[in-house]
């Protein structure tokens, strides 16, 4: 029950952040889509077009994964980055460095548990 509550809080935070971006950006370049039927846990967000590139963010709340794709005009769609945030959610505070690997996050959690 407590784990579900934390997941809902995280998802609410993600949705709030996306809505804030939409409100402050005030551009037609953004779009949010949610799956229908059995895929209600998948969200897609198109980012702002920059030159001949446009990012597309896919968030799967069931698999706890964020994927970033980029569309290149004339070059197609390519996966730029992907991350499972299952262990990121367990961190109480973080901000020492950018882009830790999942293994580093696991190590940080184990180190904190030993204290």
Rg of the chain on CA atoms, in Å: 16
Which residues, 6+ apart, have CB-to-CB distance to 53 below 8 Å?
Answer: 70, 71, 72, 73
Please enumerate, as own/partner, the contacts of 21-24 that have beta carbons within 8 Å and a separation of 24 or more.
none
For residue 7, tell me if it sits in a domain: yes
For residue 60, tell me if it sits in a domain: yes
For residue 104, tell me if it sits in a domain: no
Q: CB of 78 within 8 A of CB of 70?
A: yes
For residue 28, tell me if it sits in a domain: yes
For residue 58, tell me if it sits in a domain: yes
For residue 110, tell me if it sits in a domain: no
For residue 98, tell me if it sits in a domain: no
Instruction: Tell me the per-residue pLDDT of 41-71, one tens digit each, with 9 for 90 and over.
Output: 788 888 888 888 889 898 888 889 999 999 8
Higher-confidence position of 10 and 51 = 51
Count how many domains the chain has: 1
**pLDDT the model gives residue 70:** 92
**pLDDT the model gives residue 80:** 92
Residue 17 pLDDT > 80, yes or no? no
Higher-confidence position of 100 and 67 = 67
């Amino acid at each position: 029950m407590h784990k579900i509550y934390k997941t809902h809080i995280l998802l609410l935070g993600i949705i709030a952040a996306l809505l804030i971006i939409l409100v402050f950006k005030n551009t037609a370049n953004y779009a949010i889509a949610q799956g229908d039927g059995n895929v209600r846990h998948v969200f897609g967000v198109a980012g702002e077009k920059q030159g001949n590139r446009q990012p597309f963010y896919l968030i799967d709340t069931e698999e706890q994964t964020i994927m970033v794709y980029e569309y290149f005009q004339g070059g197609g769609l390519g996966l730029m980055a992907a991350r499972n945030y299952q262990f990121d959610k367990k961190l109480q505070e973080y901000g020492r460095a950018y882009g830790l690997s999942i293994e580093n996050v696991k190590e940080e959690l184990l180190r904190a548990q030993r204290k």
